[in-house]
């Protein structure tokens, strides 16, 4: 991905127009990256992509110092106390939300976009509700006890 961007800076969109990711490959990637930050493949496939966690930042970027590009192309992100806490609480929050909505929320890996392969996202949870998929991003300063644990 990096080499393509580097060599074809002016034709990047043309390159991506020709690349389409098949639904079976999208499903395979999602399944193989469910451990997210514990998965090497998750890091490899995020490289060079605009992820959901960076979408707002990308849409508002007004600087040309290369910081955002560096992050998208693999720059190190400091592991903050909030990020560590989020990883610790994620399973507990997932169980609490499951109990609250009375539906099983599955862990989710990296979801690639078939039409726009430079875009991806890693929701914290996903479940099928009839024919519609619901995606959850958990954000909580502490777990809430809406119901008893499993």
Mean pLDDT on 71-81 = 70
Q: Answer with the residue of higher pLDDT: 18 or 34.
A: 34
Range from 38-52, 53-67, 96-110, 112-126 carrying the lowest mean pLDDT:
53-67
Q: What pLDDT does residue 145 have?
A: 46
**Assessment of whether the complete model's pTM goes beyond 0.75:** no
Q: What is the mean pLDDT of the chain?
A: 75
Weakest mean pLDDT among 43-52, 93-102, 104-113, 124-133 = 124-133
CA distances from 41 to 11, 64, 110 (A): 27, 30, 9
With a CB cutoff of 8 Å and minimum separation 6, the contacts of 150 are 95, 99
Q: Which residue has the tokens 């609480």?
A: 89
Q: Higher-confidence residue: 47 or 16? A: 47
In angstroms, rounded to a whole number, what is the distance separating the alpha carbons of residues 45 and 64? 25
Q: What percent of the chain has pLDDT over 90?
A: 15
**69 or 45: which leads in pLDDT:** 45
Nearest 5°: the CA angle 49, 47, 29 is 80
Which pLDDT value is given to residue 102?
87
* Integer Cα distance of 21 and 72 in angstroms: 20
55 vs 96, more confident: 96
The full set of domain ranges for the chain reads: 2-136
């Amino acid at each position: 991905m990096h080499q393509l961007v580097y060599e074809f800076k002016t034709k990047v969109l043309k390159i991506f127009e020709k690349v389409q990711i098949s639904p079976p490959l999208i499903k395979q990637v999602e399944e193989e990256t469910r451990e997210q930050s514990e998965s090497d493949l998750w890091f490899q496939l995020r490289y060079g992509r605009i992820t959901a966690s960076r979408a707002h930042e990308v849409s508002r970027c007004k600087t040309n110092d290369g910081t955002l590009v560096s992050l998208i192309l693999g720059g190190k992100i400091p592991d903050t106390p909030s990020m560590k806490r989020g990883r610790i609480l994620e399973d507990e929050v997932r169980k609490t939300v499951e109990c609250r909505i009375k539906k099983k929320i599955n862990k989710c890996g990296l979801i690639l976009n078939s039409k726009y392969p430079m875009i991806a996202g890693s929701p914290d949870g996903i479940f099928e509700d009839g024919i519609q998929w619901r995606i959850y991003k958990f954000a909580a300063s502490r777990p809430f006890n809406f119901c008893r644990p499993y």
